Amino acid sequence: MKSRAVIVTGSTSGIGAALAAAFAEAGANVVLNGFGDAAQIDRVRRDLAQRHGVDVLYHGADMTRPEEISDLISMTERRFGAVDVLVNNAGIQHTDRIEHFPPEKWDALIAINLFAVFHGTAAVLPGMRRRGRGRIVNIASNHGFSGGVNKCAYVAAKHAVLGLTKVTALETAGSGITCNAICPGWVKTPLVDRQIEARAARDGLDIGEATWRLLIEQQPSGRFTTFDQLAGAALFLCSETAANMTGASITQDGGWTAL
């Protein structure tokens, strides 16, 4: 990854932050994106750059806004001469029955978890085609394959992301560009912590018991997928070994989709 330019959307927290750190450790220049405390983001940015001797930038594009996504891509191309890797990771969750699901939550979730993947992909492809190389990694979910009660928008978005991954792969096949998806099951991040807290409150459980039940009901291994495991998969997809792998989905879900 030495001197490659990598954008990880939604990298101020959770999986995205871990992937951005892994790419920096592998020698890539990285563009962070996402919301959060400006001083904290800047600390992380400077720390990654110093520790790994790479350039790390931050762009605060709101991934619901196509013009800001386009600015994120063009800033990266201006600063680094290319976007070698785009990791479409930014995502949110909201849980509710379909008939109670607030339409504005549906719109926001579909905009971030799905439409942003389209807009980001459309904006990086011209440059990748010109250079004859590129990697697009979409962070989907086990919910790209399976349903889930109270998760209509999330499941719809993640199924669609897998479809978009396949179309991107087909349209770029043979061009030096690949597009693949990683489909994690439960990963311990703020997005999941909120679901654990909601379950604890709903069922009158302590956090430990709520965590265990959440895991074991759906993830047969009974273990969270780790950041290191996800980073390994993302780096693999960007390696020469995966040069002829495109349109694929790697599940890292402890057997969830094997059920």
Q: Which is nearer to ligand NAD, 145 or 236 (CB)?
A: 145
Rounded Cα distance between 32 and 91, Å, is: 14
Give yes or no for residue 186 binding ligand NAD (CB under 6 A): yes
Which two structure tokens, joined as six digits, stand for 71? 């600015």
Indicate which single residue of 90, 137, 177, 238 sits in contact with ligand NAD (rule: CB under 6 A): 90
Dihedrals φ, ψ of 140, to 5°? Answer: -95, -125
Indicate which single residue of 54, 125, 139, 237 sits in contact with ligand NAD (rule: CB under 6 A): 139
Indicate which single residue of 49, 110, 192, 245 sits in contact with ligand NAD (rule: CB under 6 A): 192
Give yes or no for residue 237 binding ligand NAD (CB under 6 A): no
Closest Cα partner for 165 from 91, 250, 84?
250
Rounded Cα distance between 71 and 77, Å, is: 10
Which two structure tokens, joined as six digits, stand for 129? 């085609």
Across the strands, what pairs with 137?
87, 180
Binders of ligand NAD: how many residues, by CB under 6 A? Answer: 29
x-marked contacts with ligand NAD along 62-81 as a string, rule CB under 6 A: xxx-----------------
List Cβ neighbours of 34 (8 Å cut-off, separation of 6 or more): 9, 10, 11, 12, 13, 16, 41, 60, 90
Q: Which three-class secondary structure state does DSSP give residue 241?
A: helix
Give yes or no for residue 187 binding ligand NAD (CB under 6 A): yes
Give yes or no for residue 114 binding ligand NAD (CB under 6 A): no
Please identify which of the residues 23, 80, 154, 227 carries the catalytic annotation: 154
Active site residue 154: yes
- Supply the residues annotated as catalytic: 154
Residues lying near ligand NAD in the complex (CB under 6 A): 10-16, 33-36, 62-64, 89-92, 112-113, 139, 141, 184, 186-187, 189-192
